[in-house]
A and B are shown apart, each in its own frame.
Chain A
Amino acid sequence: MADEKQNGKRWVGASLPRKEESRLLRGLGKFADDIKLREMLYLRFVRSPYAHARIVSVDTSAAEALPGVACVLTGAEIAAQTQPFIEIGPGPAQNIKDYPLAVTRARYQGEPVAAVVADSAALADDAAELVQVEYEALDPVMDAEDALTDKSILHEGAATNQVWNGVWEFGDVEQAFRDAAYVVNIDRMHFHRFSSTPLENNVVIGQWDPKDEHIYYQCNNSFPSFAVQFLSSHLGVPIDRIRVQTADIGGSFGIKITSYPQMAVCALASKKAGGRPVKWVESRSEHMVSSAHGNERTFRKTRVALDRDGVITAIDSHHIDDCGAYPRYEPLGCVIWSQVFPGVYRFKNARIDFTQAVTNKCPVGPNRGYSRMQHLWFLERVVDICAHQIGIPADEMRLKNYVRPEEFPYLTPNGCIYDSGNYPKMLEVGKKLIGWDDWKAKQAAARAEGRLIGIGIGTTLDSGTNNFGQSQIVNPYAPFSGNSQGANCKLDIYGEVVVAVGSCPQGQGHETTAAQVVADVLGIHPDKITVRTGFDTERNVHTGFSGTYASQFAVSGLSAVHGAAQKLKAEMKRLAGHVLETTEDDLEFGSGEQGPEVRAKSTGKSINYWGLANIVNVNSAVLPEEMYDVTLNCRYVWRAPFKVPDKERKYGQLTLTYASQLHIAVMEVDRETFIPKILDYVAVDDCGTVINPPIVEGQVYGATAHGIGAALMESCVYDEVGNMLTSTFSDYIPITAVNMPKVKYGHVCTPSPHSYSGAKGMGEGGAAPIHTISAALQDALYASGVFIHDSFNNADSIFRVLAKKEGGQLAELVKLEKRAQANGATK
């Protein structure tokens, strides 16, 4: 018998090819749109062409008269039979009435106003054109700062466009400013709106079955346990009667968390159509105008205090977040950024006044790097521009201000605990990979020829495994805290090892990494383990937090899998000890001639998994009574060891692990075409112990591509009356292979003390390229008097700032005060 280890090493850490690869790469994945049910109907939304309008009337008669149309649903009809969706925000935000179809008012261009259900998708398209909606245009509010003046109100009930406001203040901010040697004032910075454009758009099949009054969903929602909580109260259907199944998902990046309104419409349409299943497949244009965008954020009146060495001692700033027309998952984003309150830096004094507003744009949703990336970009711009203003080289400025390796676990001013990390080491690795000194020399030579070359550093965090207690900082009555994940590990009747997880992966390789963890526990090959991924409410593994989001599977998911496998192993030991007539510590696990087995070291006798499963499942008369509790079917719920944060002080441990990224870019702006080009690029990643190196590397490349696209190509643009100008891929340009530079990948490992394996959640990547590219462009254009004040920069915007001096002028936006006393002490 042999323990089937990888060259004597553990499976965790091995470069095992993905188990799901063969299926997905050969086009054999199982996606929601592949499912076709008997009697299935197809749904098409009628959408508002206005950004803001009163709905005067909706006439569905012509559409209903079209042969093949089963029914048409309007907002008024839905409002009459449902409750508005739960609002997470406190106070006035509780009076926002969010229904899945607009009832009396449309609040963004593309908002669904009616839904048409027909025998075929083409017929539904035809019928949708026949629905007559009369609108009366209202003043659109397109900018968050404008929205806060409340001149035109989106949600009558709330009577204000402000969704949320709160102040985070730690340390002695004013004292730090009094002591400062330098104060840098930054008038305005802006993080732009972009989205994630997964290959597969949203898909929902919903059936309200009259036979059992259950609702059945097959869909690609990426956080189903959250969706069912919203759907149950909205539809008035007990949560146990809502079944949600997901299979393979073609990307989500968080955007698919907020597909529950469309899920509600499919169920209600099915009900109206007598229980026939209703399928909705989102088109790309629909996805662009109305799925979910990422949060847009404006940073006003920022003040930064520094001592005479360039160490930042305090930051004071006002942040205004634009969540689009409906808060939905928001205002969680109003607190989630504070997981990385000081970023990777040591400053202790800070005051951030955070406000969120609604505007007449597509609602936002969690989008890879959710809410933290906006804040991290802000901090990176602050550190970067201060370095330029004072004249400190970019790398030195980081080293002066980074949290130091010996300070981990590091307690942040707002009570978060950074588990581990080594930012100086990452910088060293990054500089080596890029050839820092070499590039510095080349840059100097190129500048002498008048070329615009810049080198930029971005250092970020990917905080993973949320403490949902942070929702109470937003709303003290929110009944959420902690975090958990469930998994099940069993021997099936013939002894097959089967693992089920409550996650719904979209390419993160959960089937593979879960199998690696169980393989190590049982000493067998991962190929002998079947992993059921994809969510299924009726599999009974999930908890209320189950899903795939927020960089956590390696911690929450695999801890649950590990716990379940341990539990199964303990039962197997008891049973095998009894059968083999030996003590448990005499047993060893591995694989023999008859497959996976448990063996007594003393006698050499063994029993294989079939034998064990046989006794429990179909031969139970041989099972002694004291072992009746052995089921070989073990569910384990892993819980993150969190406390409820201090809501008043906004203080506490908000996330469990902090993966870090350090990117370096060398960029050139062409003097004639203004095209910014990446000349060299390095991505260094530290996510603690790596479970599967190629999977981690793949996530790093994906997040890097995503960030480069966001920084240089992808922007959701609205005109002043609220028309979305980027509703197709002719105008919204997702990054493709031809746009990618060669990325040099580097790795640093600081194992996390907060997870059983030392792994940290990863995958979101902190949007490192956005910060890095902004810094590189800043370096290239600083001497030209440009301040990179926006996270989106393309050839056109650089042309306008550089050649036309339209906005982005350093002299107007950034002011450096040098204090005569200059008595800031280095701490």
Chain B
Amino acid sequence: MYPRSFHYHRAKSLQEAAAMLAQLGDQAKLLAGGQSLIPLMKLRFANPAHLVDLNFIAGTSYIHSEAGVGEGGYSETGVSEGGVLRFGALTRHAEIENSALAATVPILHDCAAGIADVQIRNRGTIGGSLAEADPSGDWACVLSTLSTEVRCLGASSPERVIPLSEFILDAYTSALQPDELVSEVMVKIPVKGSGGAYLAFKRSAPVYPTASAAVQLTMEGDRCTDVAIALGCVGLTAIKAKDAEAALRGQTLNDKALAAAGEAASAAAEPQDDMRGSADYKRALVGALVKRAIAIAARRAHGEQVEVSHIYA
């Protein structure tokens, strides 16, 4: 099918795009990579009267690193050796996949390289993915295991920086005001001795995962000193598996600790039945994925180079 007819606007700057949103009202939608929006429009599930295209705005697609606290008010008091990676809102998944800078945080590469297929990665953007707040979006899951903040720019309000945990409110619902957009995503670089991994089960490349697990942990010898675990596709938003984290924090990473974390993750999941799998299955699956992601994250925390790929049917 073809989308309903709509007016097309090409913004020259993010400010202008925000102003257009303010002016055109709720019938307007921003167009980034179009990989979520266009399919919905083609099925006529989304029928915006106006599209504001962000793709021709210069300087919105980049990956920068900054040592210590970045400019522009990166507000977390984190370790200064950590530094910050800054992603322009229009940075494509493929740019992140192919970036040596992003690869210094392996979980970011795992995420970018595992989204859909080449065509979709070439178009889809990190900003669009977070703004869409799809319950199955990979970025929201992965970035919630790192200290992430989202910079938002509005037509009428001053620029603000929102921690990711407060940015995604519900399925398909973000904290953005109607005239606001995402301009940048800021990710704190994990401390030395920290490693992460993102693992999903996907029926094939161009579909969202059945379930996924993101783990970022810090090791001191055999002992896990800090850990963040997030579960994807098993709830209305990515789920922070707090009990699973607690099962690992301060523990030696042995089979028992892993099993406890896996079980706690399964218990934290709130999946639904759909064509990707039954709720019970997803619950079992996500526990298994968490255990495997922990094992890979731990090896990486010890400095090992581990290549991972999602599991495909």
Contacts and interface: CB of A to CB of B under 8 A. Distances in A.
Contacts of A738: 204-205, 312
Contacts of A796: 210, 277-278, 281
B203 interface: yes
B275 A731 contact: yes
Interface in B217-276: 274-275
Interface residues of B, number: 30
B124 to A, nearest CB: 15
Given A125-B2, A795-B285, A713 B313 contact: yes
Interface string A686-722: 0000000000000000000000000011000100000
Interface string A506-519: 00000000000000
Contacts of A728: 43
Contacts of B205: 736, 738
A594 interface: no
Contacts of A726: 275
A672 B204 contact: no
Q: How many A residues are at the interface, by size bracket? A: 35 or more
B291 A672 contact: yes
A285 interface: yes
Contacts of A125: 1-2, 44
A735 B204 contact: yes
Contacts of B204: 713, 733-736, 738-739
Which of A717, A735, A796 has the largest count of B CB atoms less than 10 A from its CB?
Answer: A796
B36 to A, nearest CB: 12
Contact of A739 (B5, B280, B288, B313): B313
Interface in B186-219: 201, 203-208, 210
Most chain B CB within 10 A, of A125, A673, A730, is at A673
Specify which of B5, B281, B288 lies most central, judged by the most chain A CB atoms within 10 Å of its CB: B281
A803 interface: yes
B4 interface: yes
Q: Which of B2, B4, B206, B291 has the most CB of A within 10 A?
A: B2
Grouping DSSP codes into helix (H, G, I), strand (E, B) and loop, the B interface class, with mixed when no group exceeds half, is loop
Nearest to A670: B288
Contacts of B274: 731
Contacts of A733: 203-204, 207, 313
B37 interface: no
Contact of A122 (B2, B210, B275, B278): B2
B97 to A, nearest CB: 15
A49 to B, nearest CB: 14
B94 interface: no
A58 interface: no
Contacts, number: 85
A738 B3 CA distance: 31
A126 B5 CA distance: 9
Interface string B38-65: 0000011000000000000000000000
Interface string B279-313: 01100110111010000000000000000000111
Contact of A803 (B43, B203, B207, B284): B284
Nearest to B206: A729
A170 interface: no
Contacts of B210: 795-796
Interface string A668-693: 00101111000000000000000000
Contacts of A795: 201, 210, 277, 281, 285, 313
Which interface residue of A44, A122, A672 has the most chain B CB atoms within 10 A?
A672
B313 A673 contact: no
A424 to B, nearest CB: 34
Interface string A462-482: 000000000000000000000
Nearest to B273: A796
B278 A800 contact: yes
Nearest to A715: B275
Interface string A444-465: 0000000000000000000000
B5 A122 contact: yes
Interface string A792-816: 0011100110011000000000000
A673 B277 contact: no
Given A733-B204, A733-B207, A673 B289 contact: yes
A283 interface: yes
Contacts of B285: 673-674, 795, 799
Nearest to B208: A730
Nearest to A120: B2
A725 interface: yes
Contact of A674 (B206, B281, B289): B281
Nearest to A286: B1
Contacts of B281: 674, 795-796, 799-800
A670 to B, nearest CB: 8
Nearest 6 A-B pairs (CB), nearest first?
A: A672-B288, A731-B275, A122-B2, A796-B277, A733-B203, A799-B281
23 contacts: A121-B2, A125-B2, A129-B44, A283-B1, A285-B1, A670-B288, A673-B201, A673-B285, A674-B284, A675-B311, A713-B203, A731-B274, A732-B275, A733-B203, A733-B204, A734-B204, A736-B204, A736-B206, A738-B204, A795-B210, A795-B285, A795-B313, A796-B278
Given A674-B281, A728-B43, 13 more contacts: A121-B2, A125-B1, A126-B5, A285-B43, A672-B291, A673-B288, A673-B311, A675-B313, A712-B313, A725-B275, A732-B275, A799-B285, A800-B281
